[in-house]
Chain A
Amino acid sequence: MLKIKDLYAGFDGKDILQGIDLEVKAGEVHAIMGPNGSGKSTLAAVIAGKDEYEVTRGYITFENEDISELDPEERAHKGIFLSFQYPVEIPGVSVTNFIKTAINETRKAKKQADMPAAEMLKMIKEKADMLEIDRKFLSRSLNEGFSGGEKKRNEIFQMAMLEPKLAILDETDSGLDIDALKVVANGVNKLKSEDNAIVVITHYQRLLDYIVPDFVHVLMNGKIVKSGTKELAYELEEKGYDWIKEELV
């Protein structure tokens, strides 16, 4: 589904990502772990097509198509979703209005008619219930005054509504207490299928107890320095990252 080959990217002529290789197949869950500042969010943003970043080498394909030249919204239309580490506020735009716009813009791009209001409402209700989201929450301004946990839950709500093929969850666990974490993870698991894939970015093993990865990658200084199975996550939890650094030397 997603193939990243020898990817170098950054800005102002400085590469933050220094040769990433990653392949994610349909039905798989990958975890990317690594210390703060190692480039995890940068990788997510580059996949999503944030134009601040410049790709200087390598390429990204999605479903065998090179997506390097696509605008972020075109990538979204193809089914790439990013749950932001720091979701932005849009004052005066309700959660409902925002998701309605997102869904209908995506349908428009696919030359489909707007989703009928009744269908939309039904879907909103379903997904909100699944994530234990209060109805009142849906009429609040997007992310304005939301707690850290509310922001993350809202990201997953949007994911549930948009039903992406590839979801990248950037530190979705931060800001969530243990109960909320279970609800959110549960929601993500329900969305999982043989046809889609999930990349979980985290630096705690905690989330991976609930969203169980098939593969775990360690990102350091813009490079994937180690890959393994979920056991690697336990090892990291126990020993930190220093031993990997030492291994590398």
Chain B
Amino acid sequence: MTKYTEDDLKKELETKEYEYGFYTDIESDTFPVGLNEDVVRAISLKKEEPEWMTEWRLEAFRYWLQMEEPNWANVHYEKPNFQNISYYSAPNKKAKYDSIDEVDPELLDTFKRLGISLDEQKKLAGVAVDIVMDSVSVATTFQKTLAERGIIFCSISEAIRKHPELVRKYLGTVVPQRDNFYAALNSAVFSDGSFCYIPKGVRCPMELSTYFRINQGGTGQFERTLLIADEGSYVSYLEGCTAPSRDENQLHAAVVELIAMDDAEIKYSTVQNWYPGDKNGKGGVFNFVTKRGLCENRAKISWTQVETGSAVTWKYPSCVLKGDNSIGEFYSIAVTNHFQQADTGTKMIHIGKNTRSTIISKGISAGKSQNSYRGLVKILPNADNARNFSQCDSLLMGNSCGAHTFPYIEAKNKTAQIEHEATTSKIGEDQIFYCNQRGIETEKAIALIVNGFGKEVLNKLPMEFAVEAQKLLEISLEGSVG
């Protein structure tokens, strides 16, 4: 009789292989490994950047040389050898396509295997897709509709060439070059990423969406995203990724900067599924991300993330609530399995008066993984009547994994109201049996329970993304039980 026990669960968790372990072989134009000022200059040259941009990168590179890799996070890994990474790689075929027929069939096939073919994406009402494959954008759709409203949505390289005044004004204003080790590295060598500008009073009529892939063995990926919502505007931005299976560790150090001006609102949703490494903890992506948003008066930024991938994740989407009455939100589901390690959370920096923040964090740990929530709520002296509500829930599967919560609070204003709640639970055999008795097999039962656990966060995702996120949650815990 195949019966479900904690032991089976443990065993099965270890046999789950990464679903999306394939990679697209498109001839690439790749730099040799190593990093120095010449490489930084070469990247800038390759991308036909103006002088100021090259200088900005070099400045960042010089800061980076002075900095040390941080080690305060609750993650353990072999530090990457930064001289052993190639910092530029671009598909060598024609980069831009007018129609889907021109896109490399192999890439399309990849998307099909992910269940997110471009075709399907196009049909999904109102989703513009800017695919970043390796480092250069290969397809952009729905540009016209956006252009009619004055919305700029393009790769950051294109923005540097076509909208230098905007990029120059805002790049590095939320995440400065020397913010941290990885941000400095990213600033020096970022290959590509997305740029978005929503003009005053404009409501972006569709979800803006980007799919990232890491495609070349040994190539680090350094995405740079800059999103500016001008006064009174609104945008919902989706970012999602899957990565092919690789043996060596791949470094991913992205920077995302959001600027919400007075009365603007930005919803930034992420589904992250980088290759997590195999069941023995070999390989997998190192994901060291700096994401931060700045809110001016009455502005609102919501970060929603579903994190299922990466071997090591280090990520704290944050809000700087600078303007009075501004609002910051963070909704997160982080799943770890096998030997995955995630140290993720948020920082809410209350500077303005009557600022409010909400943090809902759901951690799901299985296998031998470690899942940490690290959050900082900081209330500055002038932030009268600031309010924060934090809720951190952990769900454990089996006995070999760990869930940790590190909530930090720094309140320098007596009127602050801060609430923190935390729970830890386990998927119970009684819950599983109850589902089984109703005809629901154990694997499906786990998916049901996990989706229920993460519901508050999944509900924050745009509809079509929520469906995909649920699928991802199922996949990442699939085969985890007998």
Contact = CB atoms under 8 A, between A and B. Distances in A.
Given A93-B449, A93-B451, A105-B444, A88 B428 contact: yes
A170 B455 CA distance: 31
A197 to B, nearest CB: 17
Contact of A52 (B429, B434, B435, B440): B429
B452 A105 contact: no
A18 to B, nearest CB: 22
Interface string B419-443: 0000000001111011111111110
Nearest to B457: A92
A92 B429 contact: no
Interface in B436-482: 436-442, 444, 448-449, 451-456
Given A71-B2, A90-B449, A105-B444, A84 B438 contact: no
Contact of B452 (A51, A141, A162): A141
B453 A51 contact: no
A50 B430 CA distance: 9
B4 interface: yes
Contacts of B451: 92-93
Interface string A74-111: 00110001101001111111000111011101100100
Interface residues of A, number: 36
Size class of the contact patch on chain B: 20 to 34
Nearest to B362: A92
Interface string A52-84: 100000000000000011111100110001101
A156 interface: no
Contacts of B439: 73, 76-77, 102-103, 105-106, 109, 162
A196 interface: no
A41 interface: no
Nearest to A48: B437
Interface in A146-188: 158, 162
Contacts of B456: 92
B5 interface: yes
Dominant SS among interface residues on chain B = helix
B434 A88 contact: yes
Contacts of B3: 51, 71
A76 to B, nearest CB: 4
Contacts of A93: 448-449, 451-452, 455
Nearest to A81: B437
Nearest to B1: A69
A91 B437 CA distance: 18
A88 B452 CA distance: 14
B448 A98 contact: yes
Contacts of A101: 440, 444, 448
20 contacts: A51-B1, A51-B4, A51-B5, A73-B436, A73-B439, A73-B441, A73-B442, A76-B439, A77-B439, A81-B437, A84-B434, A87-B434, A88-B428, A88-B434, A90-B434, A93-B451, A97-B448, A99-B438, A102-B435, A106-B439
Interface of B: 1-5, 428-431, 433-442, 444, 448-449, 451-456
